[in-house]
A and B are shown apart, each in its own frame.
Chain A
Amino acid sequence: MKDHSRKYRWLLLGTSLLTIGYLVAAAVRETFLAEWYGLQKQYRTLLESKATDDRGRAIARDFRVELKQVSIPQLKAVDRCVSCHNGIDDPRMTDVPVPHAVHPGEILKDHPVDRFGCTVCHQGQGPATTFEDAKAVDAYWDYPLLDRNLTQSSCLACHDVNKLPPQQIALVLEGGKLYQEKSCGSCHKLGGRGGALGPALDNEGAKTKHQLILTNLAPPHSTWNWQEAHFRDPGGIVAGSQMKNPALSEPQVLALTVYMLAQRQRDVPESYLAPDKLEEKVRRLHPQPLTGEQVYHQYCMACHGEGTYGRWDKTFRRFIPAIRGVSLQATADREYLKAQIANGRPGTQMPAWGKQAGGLLPEEVDALLDYIQPPEANRLVKTTLHAAVVPPRGEPKRGSELFTSYCSGCHGLAGHGGIAPEIANPVFQRAASDEFIVTTIRNGRRGTAMPSFQPQIAGARMLSDADLGDLLAFIRTLGGAHEGSLSARESDSYAASTKKGEAPR
């Protein structure tokens, strides 16, 4: 007879045997081929060879080959690193190879593995049970294992940077110094203080690689690799970046990278914080004002340099004024300068520096003003401006013609700036007094391209007082478009022009 189920019985036999085969293979792979299994067996022989006294023999005897983990609910950490790093807190394991070796240095004395685990300092995938997974370089894990020289960036999560032994966090300290020296604060905020041109860096170290632009980065795609490459050449990593190349040596690149990684706002429970960390937090709430020179070096120098000469900036496509130049010191009064610093120049790269914006304390703004314009110079300016004879505002139409022929070459036809500052800027218009404008036109600015238009000097282009009055009237109409804050049209055109990779003019 025809057997209707013979082929099915063969199929059942075949698939069942296949299933058994795969089940056995899976069991063997999981139980005996695991990385930690082999390493723990090695470690047991190590323990036996090290067992010289009763205690050592007891440790060797009690050692069980099994998965081990340190579970620290407060830190939300389950670290299984100890499944392979078995000898991490056994001081006898000095002459054995990694992963069996004891943790180098004295650091575990104050940071027992039981209480702190591993990932709180080293990052990496704690739950993993193979080294590749724990490193998590190309794994789906936000915080891969930190390279050895980067680990010090983790100390700051619980410690005050000033209270740690300097040799242990040498790179962090060096990076912090560079951050000030390179005047990174001119464009970046840290702790609420700094410019607005670049992103704030408070949580830079907690960024994952997915938050960075990796398109131009050669692998491996770790955040620190990105930071290093970015410090070497910002524009090469982030296309169209306005960041200046900080011109760092390789050790400096590393130091600044570690400093960036240290900027991690982690939610560490208070019981884990070093007492000095709490003091540091209090200090941050009540900062000590910096001196004017310090403020200038940390927050102004990246763009203004020493500030004695104005210069044309290629990236910004904009003229950067000489804010410590002799003639500005001699013409601008303190209120004018203060307004520039407090409000910035909307539409340009100059941000506002008031307490709510750039985070400078009022005392610091005053100190900075004293540094830019010494008090005696300011007193002189007051008398000069006071003495200045301001012609009455004349005919704007004629002023417009004068402006076109004498000023527009540098200041632009509508005063939107070119190689010279944008005098149509609303902050300028609001802060600059008629005296200041007239005096500047009359005397020019020494050390810059602004010549003197004072009629008395022979050979110079002469403008009569009436001309000055007409010009003044026209200049004042320029601010009209900027009444109040930045208009919608203005911000649109700014966005549109920056999109094309050009600075607005």
Chain B
Amino acid sequence: MPELNEKRSSRLEPLQVPRRSFLSLAALGSFFGAVGMALAGALRLPGPAVLPGPVRRFKIGHPEQFAMGSETRMDEANFFVFRDEQGIYAISGVCTHLGCSVGRSPEGFACPCHGSRFADSGDVTRGPAPRALPWLEVGRAADGQLVVYAENEVPAGTRFRV
């Protein structure tokens, strides 16, 4: 420090201080590293590790319970189950716009919130919805019952053959 201030002409000129040393930088770096890591760890906490409530995987009964050409609304789970000649399929009842529950209408499905309309296949026919109503995966549980995996989408037209 003395050499730093040697050239100082008067007391009015500010005293110079040394530049940061390696130790300072290392200490500061590790401090911010530790704090950053701690925050990153802490921010993991709000992300739920397990989702509360029952799994969104619904056993809907045996295939015999679904008559040919029938459509069934699963109110709790919010999807529709259809059966036609090619098999059984499920279409989500959650509007792809902002998540309201759609209802059946003569043309297909209608969303009460912002006026989106969907065809029987789930394709958007009108309104702000950005994409078609998703088809959900249908499968069979080990005990022979049909299972709808409400979290899993499948390409439209995919049917579960009985």
Contacts and interface: CB of A to CB of B under 8 A. Distances in A.
B143 A71 contact: no
Contacts of A108: 143
A67 interface: yes
A89 B141 CA distance: 9
A9 B152 CA distance: 54
A147 interface: no
Contacts of B34: 16-17, 19-20, 23
A90 B142 contact: yes
A382 to B, nearest CB: 69
A16 B143 contact: no
A73 interface: yes
B50 A114 contact: no
Interface residues of A, number: 32
A80 B50 contact: yes
A89 B142 contact: yes
Contact of A67 (B23, B37, B50): B50
B53 A23 contact: no
A112 B58 CA distance: 12
A23 B57 contact: no
Given A13-B30, A114-B55, A23 B37 contact: yes
Contacts of A32: none
Contacts of A219: none
A27 B26 CA distance: 23
Contact of B50 (A55, A69, A73, A109): A69
A9 B38 contact: no
Interface string B83-125: 0000000000000000000000000000000000000000000
B30 A16 contact: yes
Contact of A91 (B31, B33, B37, B142): B142
Given A20-B34, A20-B37, A27-B41, A13 B55 contact: no
Nearest to A93: B142
Contacts of B141: 89
Contact of A23 (B41, B50, B54, B143): B41
Contact of A13 (B26, B53, B143, B152): B26
A80 B38 CA distance: 28
A109 B33 CA distance: 54
Contacts of B55: 70-71, 114
Given A91-B142, A112-B143, A9 B49 contact: no
B27 interface: yes
A73 B53 contact: yes
A13 B50 contact: no
B9 interface: no
A16 B31 contact: yes
Contacts of B139: 55
B12 interface: no
B145 to A, nearest CB: 9
Interface in A476-503: none
A91 B144 CA distance: 11
A13 B23 contact: yes
A68 B51 CA distance: 9
A17 B50 CA distance: 32
Interface string A1-33: 100001001101100110110011011000000
A274 interface: no
Contacts of B152: 62
B162 to A, nearest CB: 14
A1 B49 CA distance: 54
Interface in B26-46: 26-28, 30-31, 33-34, 37-38, 41
B32 to A, nearest CB: 8
A9 B24 contact: yes
Contacts of A1: 1-2
A449 interface: no
Candidate in A16, A109, A112 with the most chain B CB atoms within 10 angstroms:
A16
B47 interface: no
Contacts of A73: 53-54
B49 to A, nearest CB: 5
A23 B35 CA distance: 10
Contacts of B49: 66-67
B155 interface: no
Given A89-B142, A91-B142, 16 more contacts: A1-B2, A9-B23, A9-B27, A12-B27, A12-B30, A13-B26, A13-B27, A16-B31, A24-B37, A26-B41, A66-B49, A68-B50, A70-B54, A89-B143, A109-B143, A114-B57
14 contacts: A1-B1, A1-B2, A12-B28, A13-B27, A17-B30, A20-B30, A26-B41, A55-B140, A66-B50, A67-B49, A70-B54, A71-B54, A80-B50, A114-B59
Interface of B: 1-2, 23-24, 26-28, 30-31, 33-34, 37-38, 41, 49-50, 52-55, 57, 59, 139-143, 152
The 10 tightest CB contacts between A and B, nearest first, are A16-B30, A19-B34, A13-B27, A12-B27, A16-B34, A9-B27, A16-B31, A23-B37, A67-B50, A20-B34
